[in-house]
Structure 1
Amino acid sequence: MKIYHNPSCMKSRQTRQILQDEGVQFEVIEYLKNPPSKEELKDLIDKLDIKPEELVRKNEGIFKEMYKGKELSDDEWIDAMLEYPKLIERPIVVDGDKAVIGRPPENVMKLL
């Protein structure tokens, strides 16, 4: 199991705590320090079974300044998240071929 984690995010910390409390072994990926590659990001989106735009944090300043109101293709949204990893919704927990976004943190229970 993996968690794409931002330690400064309360929801991310809460999700990580649930995994710890459940005794789950998991790898922590601080995605702002080690952003996913394009293939990894596409794989995450496939595992989440969502459109790329649904993984974008719409309350981020970068989104509001550069992308709000724009119609982008799936590839363009992926490129935006690669250029600005802060746009990637967090946390993302992956188990095999399934993934969930930990918003709310209890979503992680779907994988346990």
Structure 2
Amino acid sequence: MTPFATVYHNPRCNTSRTVLKTIEDTGVTVRVVKYLETPPTEDELRTLLADAGLEPRQAIRTRESIYKELGLAGADADTLIAAMVRHPILIERPIVVTEKGTVLARPADAVQAVL
């Protein structure tokens, strides 16, 4: 069976592009999810974060203007998840899923852990 990876990808993000190229260069079959166009459901996001061993606060983009607009600095985990589902730009990227595990590939070389 050919190795397979799913990448939750933002083509405008340099790190995300670098990670995608790294994966493609290994010959792994890649499924690209442009999560800004097709955001994960709440359950999918919770599963991704749990599988990566991340709390929502570790996977939210605090520098996005919507983060401040929504007053998320003191928000609990459920509120952060709901905000990320409604505003997927808040989801840190790229998230990579392979048979070896799930990782938030930030920095880009963190993807090596699941290749």
User: Which TM bucket (shorter chain)?
Assistant: over 0.9
Deviation at 1:97, TM superposition (A): 6.8
- Mapped to 2, the partners of 1:109 and 1:67 lie a distance apart of 35
Unaligned runs of 5+ in 1: none
* Cα root mean square deviation, aligned: 1.3
Q: How far is 1:75 from its partner?
A: 1.0
Paired residues, number: 111
Give the TM-score normalised by structure 1: 0.93
2: CA distance between counterparts of 1:53 and 1:109? 23
Letter in 2 for 1:9: C
- 1:65 has 2:69 as partner: yes
Q: CA 1:39–1:56 in structure 2 vs 1: closer, same or farther (change >3 Å)?
A: same
User: Which 5+ residue runs of structure 2 have no aligned equivalent?
Assistant: none
1:57-96 residue CA offsets vs partner (Å, 9 max, x unmatched): 0111111222353x22211110010111000000000113
Name the residue aligned to 1:21.
25
Distance 2:109 2:63 in 1: 21
Instruction: Give the secondary structure class of the aligned counterpart of 1:18.
Output: helix
| Rounded Cα–Cα distance in structure 2 between residues aligned with 1:14 and 1:67 | 31
Paired-residue identity, %:
38
Equivalent of 2:53 in 43, 49, 55: 49
Q: Which residue of 2 aligns with 1:96?
A: 99
Matched, 1:84 2:90: no
Q: Counterpart of 1:26 in 2: which secondary structure?
A: strand
Amino acid in the other structure paired with 2:79: E
Secondary structure of the 1:33 match is coil
Assess if the C-alpha contact under 8 Å between 1:56 and 1:88 holds in 2: yes
Which residue number in structure 2 is paired with residue 108 of structure 1?
111
Q: Which moved more, 1:26-35 or 1:56-65?
A: 56-65
